[in-house]
Amino acid sequence: MQKKQWQTALKNLPLGQQHYFAQVGSTNDIAAKLLDADAPHLSLVLADEQVKGRGRNGRSWTTTGGAALAFSVILLPKDDPITAQTLGRVSGLGGIAVCLALQKHYSLPAAVKWPNDVLLNGKKVAGVLAEAHWRADRLQGVVLGIGINVLPASVPPARDLNFPATSVAAEYGATVSRPELLAHVLTEVINWYSLLNSDNLLKTWEANLAFRGEQVYLDARDGTHVEGRVLGLNPDGSLRLGTGPGETHTFRIGEIRLRASINLPVS
């Protein structure tokens, strides 16, 4: 797809710099370098194909050329407020943006799988990776990376997945324009970023939270897991899990993975 088609789709958005690539290792890595070079707020890095993208906990996120979206946006605290308390909400912001874009424009039942994935009908369709960058003790900015499986060719083989996956087009039942979807998602990012510190963002995240009220297990990095019921979110975006009568535990972004209890192995 030609660069002009992307520019046309995004022409009405108040973006900073716009960088388009046929193939990159990671859009987040390029955006981090641009951030170091003082790129302006809402600068965009977009790749048609991403070969060394990454998700949480070092997992890879490969983007098939011509079939998916892989992009990163630079968010600066000097233009919109990022505080220590709301820094953890940025992953939620990315998930909300994808979720609402799919609901509003494609009538798809998208939900945010805490902390940073988007599901369609119980299958992963998008992932979010927010990386904070610091200069000494000052927050320089956040790079918000988003990958979306748009067309069926973007979905990896089942043997390569640790969670069922799908594409927007497969669930929509028709082809989907990648530039149009990108514009819809970026519009939501821009709108909700101005509300990062608001109760409305947290309420919207909770309202679209996958597995809310359901029994789940959270698989910790050390190989252990905790089973309980998803209660909701704390103001910083951490998860509240009910683990027993009157018992509530908090799990912070970066510590766990979330699975439905039905996926627990039978002993």
- pLDDT tens by residue, 218-249: 876 666 778 889 999 998 898 999 988 889 98
- Predicted local distance difference test score (pLDDT) of residue 263: 45
Domains 3-207 and 215-263 agree in fold: no
Domain layout of the chain by residue ranges: 3-207, 215-263
> 239 and 251 in contact (C-beta within 8 Å)?
yes
Domain boundaries 3-207, corresponding CATH code:
3.30.930.10
Residue with tokens 């994935």, as numbered in its chain:
117
d(CA 216, CA 227): 6
**Among 2.40.128, 3.40.1760, 2.30.30, 2.40.50, what is the CATH number of 215-263?**
2.30.30
Does residue 52 surpass a pLDDT of 90? Answer: no
Distances in Å between the Cα of 30 and the Cα atoms of 20, 163, 236 are: 11, 28, 27
Q: Which of 62, 89, 206, 197 is nearest to 144 (CA)?
A: 89
**Residue 66 falls in which region: left (phi positive, over 0), alpha (psi -120 to 50) or beta:** left
d(CA 23, CA 218): 35
d(CA 99, CA 118): 7
In this prediction, residue 260 carries a pLDDT of 55
Q: Please give the model's pTM, rounded to 2 decimal places.
A: 0.89
Write out pLDDT tens, residues 85-99: 677 888 899 999 999
- How do the residues of the chain divide into helix, strand and coil, expressed in percent and rounded to 5? 30, 35, 35
What digits encode the pLDDT tens for the residues 140-160?
899 999 999 999 999 987 766
Cβ atoms within 10 Å of 78's Cβ, excluding its own: 10
